[in-house]
Structure 1
Amino acid sequence: MLFSLHLVYQIKEVFQVKKGLIVIDVQDDYFEGGAMPLFEPNEALKNAIRVQRDFREKQLPIFYVQHAGTPEAGFLVEGTEGAEIHAGLLPIADENEFIVRKTTPNSFFETDLAEKLAEAGVEQVVIVGMMMRVQDPMLYLMGRKRVRKICR
Structure 2
Amino acid sequence: MKTAILVIDIQCALTDPEPRPDDIDAVINRINLITGKARKAELPVFFIQHEAPDSPVAYGSPGWRLPEKLAVEDGDRFIRKTTPDSFLKTDLHDQLQALGIKQLVICGYASEFCVDTTTRRAAGLGYAIKLVTDGHTTHDKPHAAATEIRAHHNATLTVIQSFSVPIKGIAAADLQFTG
TM exceeds 0.5? yes
Provide the alpha-carbon RMSD of the alignment: 1.8
Match for 2:12: what amino acid? D
Match for 2:119: what amino acid? Y
TM-score (norm 1): 0.77
Give the CA deviation at 1:76: 1.7
Highest relative contact order (Cα 8 Å, sep 6+), 1 or 2? 1
Q: Is the aligned partner of 1:128 residue 2:112?
A: no
Residues 29 and 35 in structure 1, CA contact (< 8 A), matched pair in contact too = no
Secondary structure at the aligned position of 1:105 is classed as coil
Residues 30 and 41 in structure 1, CA contact (< 8 A), matched pair in contact too = no
> Quick one: distance in 1 between partners of 2:61 and 2:123?
33
> Quick one: distance in 2 between partners of 1:36 and 1:120?
38
Give the CA deviation at 1:142: 1.9
Ranges in structure 1 where 5+ consecutive residues have no aligned partner? 1-16
Partner of 2:98: 119
Match for 2:43: what amino acid? L
Residues 23 and 128 in structure 1, CA contact (< 8 A), matched pair in contact too = yes
Residues 70 and 77 in structure 1, CA contact (< 8 A), matched pair in contact too = yes
Ranges in structure 2 where 5+ consecutive residues have no aligned partner? 132-179
1:23 to 2, 7, 19: 7
Aligned length: 131
Partner of 2:37: 54
> Quick one: distance in 1 between partners of 2:82 and 2:128?
25
Residues 25 and 65 in structure 1, CA contact (< 8 A), matched pair in contact too = yes
Runs of 4+ in structure 1 off by over 6 angstroms are none
1:39 to 5, 22, 25: 22
Matches within 5 A, 1:74-89: 74-89=55-70
Match for 2:70: what amino acid? L
